[in-house]
Amino acid sequence: MIYYLLLPFAGIVLVVFQNTLANVLFSGWLTLELSLVLVIYAGFRLDALKGAVLAFVTGFAFDCVSGAPAGLFAIIYLLIFIFSFFVSLRFAAEKLALITVFSLACSLIESALLLAVYYFVFKFENLGDMLFAFILQALLVSFLSAGAFYMMHKMERFFHGQTRQFPRRAAAGRISAQA
Amino acid sequence: MFFKNYRTVIFICAAVVAALILLSYSLKYASGTGMVKKLVLEAAASVQIFFNIPVERTKSAWTRYIHLVGLEEDNRKLRQTVAELQAQLILYQEGRLEADRLRQLLSLQQEYQHSFLAARVIGKEQGAFSRSLWINKGSAHGLKPGMPVMVSQGVIGRITDISWHNSKVMLLIDQSSNVDALIQRTRAQGIVRGAGTRDCVMRYVSKTQDVREGDLVLTSGLSNIFPRGLLIGRVSNVGRTDFGLFLQINVVPFADFASIEEVMVVTGVPVQDLAGEKTVK
């Protein structure tokens, strides 16, 4: 229960932290999406309920802080979480090369969805200028994901003696109703 | 039972639907002032303030550092500029001083009715027994041995050795130098001889003559070498001993021999200054 109570605050802190860091490092030119890395990690490591709540809350916090339409990042993060969750049924999170490529794909999907919404809903033009930034951002997220997964893997080994596994997900090739 | 078995799936679907409704609602009404959003923004602002403290401090320190680096660079450039300007200033000062000296030398021409030739000092010789200068004019310029050499303050010596383009000037303070002189006030005559230091002595002035400290000493023009009436120096001391026929007179030349850079060589003298005729020699 404490997880669900602390999650909104943790989500807000994470989003504000990543915005501050991006402002310091890139002067707002790029977004350092640690929240996306967290959602992908949740897709691989957390159970579906906790992960979905995390994705929704983090996305909503990002919506509020970034000024995007409420629900935009929430739905994108939820979709990415579900995608990650399905991928995690087939692939192990220890394969860092896979994580890197997968994170790159997730970030590009996110960018594509954002561009689509802004193009079709808000009728934004000159979105091509943002393409370069989105590609850089996707590369950044992929490397950050690899680093984050590696660190978490080490930390899990340090605290639990071995990488934590969810038996219901590791054993089955499908989503369990109990997951 | 169904709900319990598919709780997670149902919840995820509900979350997706909720997000879609939220998105649709916000897109349709564009209301960014919902209660939840306000709460999130309020919390985010507090967190932002918390994160901004170290960021601002780091930025401030960095800005100060960059500013200091800029200051160091500015300081280095300014130092370089100051050094260049100082060098330029020294050059200008040298030019002005040289112009002053040359102006003073040229004033000799108006003061005396002699012909002069300006020359630059190119060397100094200060041995134990000789005090002389080298100047950059010689026989090719019309100079001859024996010609008097002056500065604006007065006579400094005469040419002794000469080559085509250089000449050696024996200074008044050289112990071999002898110049016919007189005391301006009393017209008492004698010979000014170099004392080997910075001074000269005036010899062969009778004890009966009235000579005092401060009296001006001029060339007498009797030797046909130095024109009459050129300033030599000032009497600094007059000694009267019980023995001997002459006074012991010390004369301090007006010219500062250590700082002479340009001189005027007297190349032509009205004969009246030497022998009473009104032609220029």
- A163 pLDDT above the threshold of 60: no
Task: Name the A residues in 3-42 with CB < 8 Å from any B CB.
Answer: 8-9, 12-13, 15-17, 19-20, 23-24
* Closest Cα in chain A, distance from residue B81 (Å): 37
* Closest Cα in chain B, distance from residue A117 (Å): 10
Report pLDDT for A68: 79
Contact A47, A166 (CB under 8 A): yes
Contact status of B49 with chain A (Cβ, < 8 Å): no
Report pLDDT for B31: 59
pTM exceeds 0.80 for this model: no
Domain locations in chain B as residue ranges:
32-111, 114-274
Q: Per residue in B235-244, pLDDT tens?
A: 999 988 777 7
Place A116 in a pLDDT band, splitting at 50, 70 and 90.
confident
**More confident of the two residues A93 and B225:** B225
Place B81 in a pLDDT band, splitting at 50, 70 and 90.
very high
Report pLDDT for B129: 62
Q: Per residue in B209-220, pLDDT tens?
A: 889 999 999 998
Burial of A113 (C-beta count, 10 Å sphere; 0-12/13-18/19+): middle
**More confident of the two residues B273 and A153:** A153
Average pLDDT over residues B197-203: 83
DSSP helix/strand/coil, A149: helix
User: What is the distance, to the nearest Å, from the Cα of residue A70 to the centroid of all Cα atoms in its chain?
Assistant: 17
Of B77-81, B103-107, B243-247, the one with minimum mean pLDDT is B103-107
What is the spatial distance between Cα A33 and Cα A142, in angstroms, rounded to a whole number? 10
- A175 pLDDT above the threshold of 50: no
Contact status of B11 with chain A (Cβ, < 8 Å): yes
A84 within a domain of the structure (yes/no): yes
Over pLDDT 90: what percentage of chain B? 16
Contact status of B17 with chain A (Cβ, < 8 Å): no
| Nearest partner of A69 among A10, A117, A11, judged by Cα | A117
The residue among B8, B38, B55 with the most chain A CBs within 10 A of its CB, best to mutate, is B8
Rg (CA), chain B: 46
Average pLDDT, chain B: 83
- Cβ-Cβ contacts under 8 Å between A and B: the total is 102
Average pLDDT, chain A: 81
- A172 pLDDT above the threshold of 50: no
Q: Per residue in B25-49, pLDDT tens?
A: 887 776 555 777 778 877 888 888 8
The residues pairing with B266 across neighbouring beta strands, listed in sequence order, are: B116
A170 within a domain of the structure (yes/no): no
Give the count of domains, chain A.
1
- A171 pLDDT above the threshold of 50: no
Name the residue range of residue A82's domain. 2-165
3-state secondary structure A59-119: HHHHHHHHCCCCCHHHHHHHHHHHHHHHHHHHCCCCCHHHHHHHHHHHHHHHHHHHHHHHH
Average pLDDT over residues A22-41: 83
- B99 pLDDT above the threshold of 70: yes
Place B134 in a pLDDT band, splitting at 50, 70 and 90.
confident
Contact status of A69 with chain B (Cβ, < 8 Å): yes
Report pLDDT for B157: 92
- B24 pLDDT above the threshold of 50: yes
Q: Return left, alpha or beta for B253; rule: phi > 0 is left, psi -120 to 50 is alpha, else beta.
A: beta
| Contacts B23 to A, Cβ<8 Å | 69-72, 74-75
Contact A141, A37 (CB under 8 A): yes
In the Cβ-directed half-sphere of B187, how many Cα atoms lie within 13 Å? Answer: 3
Contact B225, B269 (CB under 8 A): no
Average pLDDT over residues B102-114: 75
Token pair 């038996």: residue: A167
Of A40-44, A46-50, B104-108, B271-275, the one with minimum mean pLDDT is B271-275
**More confident of the two residues B141 and B4:** B141
Superfamily grouping for domain B114-274 = Rod shape-determining protein MreC, domain 1 (2.40.10.340)
Please tell me whether the interface predicted TM-score (ipTM) of this complex is above 0.85.
no
- Domain of residue A49, CATH code: 1.10.1760
